[in-house]
Structure 1
Amino acid sequence: MVRLGKALMKEVGSGISKTLSEILVCPLSKQPLRYCEATNSLVSDAIGVAYPVKNGIPCLVPTDGKILDSDEGSNSDGAAGSSARK
């Protein structure tokens, strides 16, 4: 258990560890999250919400999430912008 904690804490300065990002899911949609280096946040593409990462610790409380504009979410694969209504 201690070894796992040390492995996860190794990359705290660089945002979030790959191991941790593979385990975490969105607390609302239960879908995988992707790490965005530009905003230092974990993004749920399923619902368009970004959760901040503070000092290497993901803040996955739903009230901490920020709803993304259609421009911000579309930079991954363009799918988020397709739901825009006229």
Structure 2
Amino acid sequence: MDKTLFEILACPLCKGEVHLEKERQELVCRPCGLAYPIRDGIPVMLEGEARTLTVDERLDEAS
């Protein structure tokens, strides 16, 4: 994914910072607990397409 694009992306719900999870090809918003998919190099920043982070994922991020 283009670094410039990544730097300007924000969570569509809270407008907060998202973090790239390269392994899962997702952009994660920690405050909202959502992970937005990246498909074919394009981030899909739609709430309906996001998955909810599991409890374990949320705990891992808090550490």
Greater relative contact order (CA < 8 Å, ≥ 6 in sequence): 2
When the two structures are superposed, what TM-score results if normalisation uses the length of structure 1?
0.67
The runs of 5 or more residues in structure 1 that have no matched partner are 1-15, 79-86
Q: CA-to-partner distance for each residue in 1:2-45, whole Å, 9 max, x for gaps?
A: xxxxxxxxxxxxxx222111100000111010000121000001
Pairing 1:30–2:15 present? yes
Q: Point out the structure with max Rg over C-alpha.
A: 1
Q: 1:71 aligns with which of 39, 56, 62?
A: 56
The structure whose residues are more often strand, as a share, is: 2
The structure whose residues are more often helix, as a share, is: 1
Cα RMSD between the aligned structures?
1.2
Q: CA-to-partner distance for each residue in 1:31-83, whole Å, 9 max, x for gaps?
A: 010000121000001111000000000000110010001211333342xxxxx
Which portions of structure 1, spanning 4 or more consecutive aligned residues, are displaced by more than 4 angstroms?
none
Percent identical among aligned pairs is 35
